[in-house]
Amino acid sequence: MVDKITAVIITFNPEVDLLIRQFNSLVNQVDQIIYVDNHSSIQFKEQLISDKIKFIFNNENLGLGKAQNQGINLAFKEGASHVILFDQDSIADQDLVKELINTEKQFVNNNIKVALIGPAIYNNYNNPPTIAKVVKTLGWNIIQEYLNKSVVEVAYCIASGSLISKEAFINVGDINEDLFIDALDLEWCLRAKSKGYKILQNPSAKIFHQLGNGSNDKILSHSTKREFYICRNNILLIKMKHIPLGYRIRKAVLTPLRPLKALMKFKLNYVFAGIKGILNGI
* Helices marked H in the chain: 16-26, 64-77, 96-108, 166-172, 184-194, 224-238, 245-254, 257-264, 268-281
CB atoms within 10 A of CB 203: 17
Residues 54 and 98 reside in one and the same domain: yes
Flag whether 26 is in a domain: yes
**Residues 260 and 133 occupy one common structural domain:** no
Total domains present in the chain: 2
For residue 260, the enclosing domain spans 224-281
**Residue 175 maps to which CATH number?**
3.90.550.10
Tell whether 149 and 240 lie within a shared domain: no
Residue 216 lies in a domain: no
Helix axes of 224-238 and 257-264: crossing angle, nearest 10 degrees: 150
Any residues with CB less than 8 A from the CB of 217 and at least 6 apart, and which? none
Query: Looking at the structure, do residues 30 and 149 belong to the same domain, yes or no?
Result: yes
Asked whether residue 256 is assigned to any structural domain, the reply reads yes
Contacts of residue 112, defined as CB under 8 A and 6 or more positions apart, other chains included, come to: 198
Per-residue tens of pLDDT for the chain, all 282 residues: 689 999 999 999 999 999 999 999 999 999 999 999 999 999 999 999 999 999 999 999 999 999 999 999 999 999 999 999 999 999 999 999 999 999 999 999 999 999 999 999 998 767 788 899 999 999 999 999 999 989 999 999 999 999 999 999 999 999 999 999 999 999 999 999 999 999 999 999 999 987 655 555 777 778 999 999 999 999 999 999 999 999 999 999 999 999 999 999 999 999 999 999 999 999
Is there a single domain that holds both residue 233 and residue 118? no
Domain-embedded: residue 77: yes
224-238 and 245-254 are packed helices; what angle lies between their axes, rounded to 10 degrees?
Answer: 140
Strand pairing partners for 134? Answer: 145
Classify residue 217: in a domain, yes or no. no
Whether residues 195 and 255 fall in one domain: no
Q: Are residues 188 and 234 in the same domain?
A: no
Same-domain check for residues 33 and 104: yes
For residue 153, tell me if it sits in a domain: yes
pTM across the whole model: 0.94
Is 71 inside a domain boundary?
yes
Q: CA angle 170-197-281, nearest 5°? A: 75
